[in-house]
Amino acid sequence: MASFRLSHELKVGALLAVGLAIALVTVLSVGERQGLLKQRYRLRAQFTDVGGLQTGAQVRVSGYQVGVVDDIRLVEVNDSTRIEVVLKIERSAQRWIRRGSAARIGSLGLLGDKLVDINPSSRDSAVLHDGDQLATVTIMSPEEILARASEIADTLTSTAKSLNNIMKKVERGTGSLGKIIDDPRLYVNLDSLLMLTNQLVKKINSNRGTAGLLLSDPSLYHNINRTMVNLGEVTDSLRRGQGSLGRMMREPELYRTLDSTTQRLDGLLARIEKGQGTLGRLSQDEEMYKSLKESSQELKALIEDIRRNPKKYLSISVF
């Protein structure tokens, strides 16, 4: 009976020892993954949206795990709400995380668990220490990517339907494009146009026609060159003040004379418009205009009568 109890106690003790060993291995394994048995320090990173990131999520440097997310909390920054993520990172990775390094929210796969990925900066920058803040980069989440992809797919589907409708119209010969493709006159017209173009090119190459003569006649170049030379001489003469136009451009007295004449002419026209002076009264007085018109008509009638009956007005007496 005593031996049976001893055997039972040994079994229980062995079972407990195995359980403790398994628990110890588990704790060591978890501690290894979580960095519990390694020296570590903490960095802070602030995001506007963490996309469902949880504590215990992986922290990686260029894809290599160096720590875990220790805490996530809301903070007030310049009258706006931000999400501060506390990262617990192994000391061995401290030399890779320097000023200018940027943290971003990523995921394991397209729709996997969230993680924090740190992009290291130049080795010339200063190392970040415990409690320092990391710069952050906001990237499009997988959900937004899928939403954008869905919108693009819808747009492509709509475009494909529109193209299909256009192709059906083209096959039936309807619409402008369909008529162009099905109408044989287009080919005939294009063929005629090519023939005319070929004939024109041949004439130009053989120095026939206006275009051919223009391209091959050297006198055209000489005439243009002489014209440009003459134009340059005229411009130079104007610049030196030679000739009537040149003197007009360079002599201020002539300008003042023309300006004075213009002012006097403008004053004369103003007086005429106001009815001042003889011309002004003539332009404004309708009775005078009618009288002059009647006198003109009477004079015209008198001249006509003299032409018809000169003897009536001329009397010749012979002594």
Question: pLDDT digit of tens for each residue in the chain (319 aa)?
Answer: 555 555 667 777 777 888 888 877 776 665 555 555 568 899 999 998 888 889 999 999 988 999 999 999 999 888 888 999 999 999 988 899 999 899 998 888 766 788 999 999 888 889 999 999 999 987 766 667 777 788 888 888 888 888 887 777 767 767 666 666 666 776 677 778 888 888 788 777 776 766 666 666 677 667 777 888 888 877 777 777 776 666 666 667 767 777 788 888 887 777 777 777 776 776 666 777 777 777 778 888 778 877 777 766 665 554 4
Question: CA-CA distance, 243 to 8, in Å (whole number)?
Answer: 137
pLDDT digits (tens, 9 = 90+) for 196-205: 888 788 777 7
The pTM (predicted TM-score) of the whole model is: 0.40
> Which distant-in-sequence residues (6+ apart) come within 8 Å of 282 by Cβ?
288, 289
Question: CA-CA distance, 263 to 254, in Å (whole number)?
Answer: 14
List, in sequence order, every residue forming a beta bridge with 28; answer none if it has no partner: none
Tokens 């992986």 belong to residue: 58
Residue 283 is encoded by which pair of tokens?
């332009």
> Which distant-in-sequence residues (6+ apart) come within 8 Å of 64 by Cβ?
none
Question: CA-CA distance, 179 to 175, in Å (whole number)?
Answer: 6
Give the residue from 274, 294, 293, 292 showing the smallest Cα distance to 284: 274
Q: For residue 305, give the 3-state DSSP assignment.
A: helix
Q: Where are the beta strands (DSSP E) in 108-236?
A: 114-119, 133-136
Question: CA-CA distance, 52 to 94, in Å (whole number)?
Answer: 26
Domain layout of the chain by residue ranges: 35-139, 146-182, 217-247, 251-291
Q: What are the phi and psi torsion angles at 183 (to 5°)?
A: -80, 115
Residue 48 is encoded by which pair of tokens?
């506007």
For residue 127, what is the DSSP state?
B
C-alpha distance from residue 98 to each of 44, 66, 148, 276 (Å)? 13, 14, 34, 95
* Predicted local distance difference test score (pLDDT) of residue 319: 45
Longest dimension (CA), the chain: 205
Question: CA-CA distance, 5 to 286, in Å (whole number)?
Answer: 153
β-pair type (64-77, 114-119): unpaired
Q: For residue 307, give the 3-state DSSP assignment.
A: helix
* Predicted local distance difference test score (pLDDT) of residue 244: 67
Q: Are 62 and 116 in contact (CB under 8 A)?
A: no
Residue 26 is encoded by which pair of tokens?
């588990």
Our measurement of the distance from residue 94's CA atom to the centroid of its chain's CA atoms, rounded to an integer in Å, reads: 45
